[in-house]
Structure 1
């Protein structure tokens, strides 16, 4: 029984690593397409991505873009955890 639980956990972690978002990709999107909030779309946050794009017109978006530089790792972890929960539910 314990081996099966460990095997399921390993399988879930492999899926998260393969299917989940990447910090490196998120930063590349932030660097090259940050003005279009591509990193937020990539991380499954379309609502805040649209708000960020719209706020660019009043320069608040540029500050928000710099703040995202520090928020990206947490957003990736949140998305990975969401994927873990989803995969854990399907494994049972």
Structure 2
């Protein structure tokens, strides 16, 4: 019989920070760390923000996303150590 002990693998913090730096607005670093739901929310904020920036309401979404990304600077190590 095989054992079905599934332990999530720890992700690389360096790769997560690189993804955060280059593709952070799209939530790619969160997808990489296994945080799919919050990655989708970051992606939605970015799309809505950039789509509505011409009518100035998009700046609100982009400011919220920017604050969230700033907070993620400090959360990336724990997201990589404890995926899902």
Q: Per the shorter chain, which TM-score range? A: 0.5 to 0.7
4+ residue stretches of structure 1 with deviation over 6 A?
none
TM-score normalized with structure 2 length: 0.67
Distance 1:63 1:32 in 2: 16
Task: Show the counterpart of 2:5.
Answer: none
Aligned partner of 2:25 in structure 1 is 35
The answer to whether residue 14 in structure 2 is matched with residue 24 in structure 1 is: yes
Q: For structure 1, which runs of at least 5 residues remain unmatched after alignment?
A: 1-15, 83-92
- Measured after TM superposition, the shift of residue 36 of structure 1 is 0.9
* Unpaired runs of at least 5, structure 2: 1-7, 50-60
Q: How far did residue 52 of structure 1 move?
A: 1.4
Task: State the superposition RMSD in angstroms.
Answer: 1.9
Structure holding more helix per residue: 1
TM-score, L = length of structure 1 = 0.62
Instruction: Give 3-state SS (helix, strand or coil) of 1:20's partner.
Output: coil
Contact 2:27–2:40 under 8 Å retained in 1: yes
Pick the structure with greater CA Rg. Answer: 1
C-alpha displacement of 1:35: 1.1
